[in-house]
Amino acid sequence: MATIVIGAQWGDEGKGKLVDILCPTVKLCARAQGGNNAGHTIVANGVTYDFHLLPSGLINPECQNVIGSGVVVHVPSFFKELNDLEVKGLKDVRSRILISDRAHIVFDLHQLVDGLEEVELGGKSIGTTRKGIGPAYSTKAARSGIRICEVFNETLFNQRLRELAAGYKKRYGDLLKYDVEEEISRFNEYRQELGNYVVDQVPLMKSAQDSNLPILVEGANALMLDLDFGTYPYVTSSNTGLGGVFTGLALNPTKVKSIIGVVKAYTTRVGGGPFATEDLGEVGTKLQEIGREWGVTTGRRRRCGWLDLVVVKYSAAINHYTSLNVTKLDILDTFPTIKVATAYLDPTTGEELESFPANLELLANVKVKYEELKGWEKPVTGAKAFYDLPKEARAYVEFIENFVGIKVQYIGTGPGRESMITR
């Protein structure tokens, strides 16, 4: 049976930590979508590990890990990340990671094009990680992408990459500084070693599910960055919600045990796009500094604001969470008053909107209705059980629970894996 962990906001909620905690109970950990634009940080035994492309389940020495068909794979980053984990002392990582032969490849070519596309957009740039994710998914959708399985047919691979490069050269001309022969040469070096990790994911997943092997799916990015349901076009280029899990892994929907939505105790986002509860003043700065809100992947500072339950309720309607994990509760320890967004009001009529709007112009101008809650003004780190928390902190968690209508099963109270309350 599968447990699915998905971000409920704009990413950076702390999904990796929950995955790390759950991993000892599973035998297979899988990524379904995204690429090395994800960034999950895990602190284990005093060591900080940063994951981008690889599943966080590699922390658990008993867990096999799979990069699914819906993921786009930058091969140099795959090998670099493995090397980095080995340098930090993780054992046998190379024997516990597999890549679907149907996954598409992110080339350095895609990364260069990503940068050019962002420059073209100017002041309306998406704020991508420039990791080539969007262009890789674009070529996938246009049926000109190259899959992992094609790496092992050298003649075909070389021909298709040259064709891909020629198409982009026609589009960008001399602005594109790229040597296709150099990238082909590097894949000649990767080819043999890469073969050790490639697998037909479909029978692998079917066998695991038929034998009721405990599976953990690690979502990347989050629902509000979903290509269909996020703040389009300020989104990533894959389906980051529940739908992407099923299509990216060939997961049997009748064999899902739980779907856990991960919710940061306040709201952050990276990149452009409307953000209704963003605070550009003292509160936002304080959240950013105390919460160390800068990206694992890009180092960019995240935009910060109060918890937006309109967003969380909207994502719950799409992802159908069976429980929630509220993270980083400790970042609110010093706030005497805490605000929570509970509704958006139409800027013209003042009427309450039914849900999170698709119209970005409307979203950029909504008036936000807040509830104010009393802060607890004491540390929550070290609390081992729910009733060890200050009553105001418990009230905050219960407010979230009651508003969204979903049980808060896990509460993060600090960066370490031991700082998680389970209810």
Point out the catalytic residue in the list 20, 40, 104, 110.
40
Which spans in 250-308 are helix H? 282-290
What is the Cα 373 distance to its own chain's centre? 29
Please tell me the distance from the alpha carbon of residue 80 to that of residue 129, in angstroms, as a whole number.
Answer: 18
Identify whether the C-beta of residue 109 lies closer than 8 Å to the C-beta of residue 72: no
Identify whether the C-beta of residue 102 lies closer than 8 Å to the C-beta of residue 149: yes
Residues ≥6 apart with Cβ < 8 Å to 235 = 126, 224, 225, 226, 227, 273
Residue type, 42: I
Say what angle helices 75-87 and 180-194 make with each other, to 10 degrees: 50
Is 330 in the active site? no
The one-character DSSP state at 147 is B
CA nearest 259: which of 218, 221, 226, 224?
218
Identify whether the C-beta of residue 137 lies closer than 8 Å to the C-beta of residue 105: no
Residues ≥6 apart with Cβ < 8 Å to 57 = 19, 23, 26, 28, 29, 63, 64, 65, 216, 218
Q: What angle do CA 350, 356, 345 make, to 5 degrees?
A: 10
Please tell me the distance from the alpha carbon of residue 312 to that of residue 368, in angstroms, as a whole number.
Answer: 15
What is the Cα 124 distance to its own chain's centre? 23
Is 110 in the active site? no
Residue type, 374: K
Please state whether the peptide bond connecting residue 214 to the residue before it is cis, i.e. omega within 30 degrees of 0: no
The one-character DSSP state at 389 is S
Residues identified as active-site? 12, 40
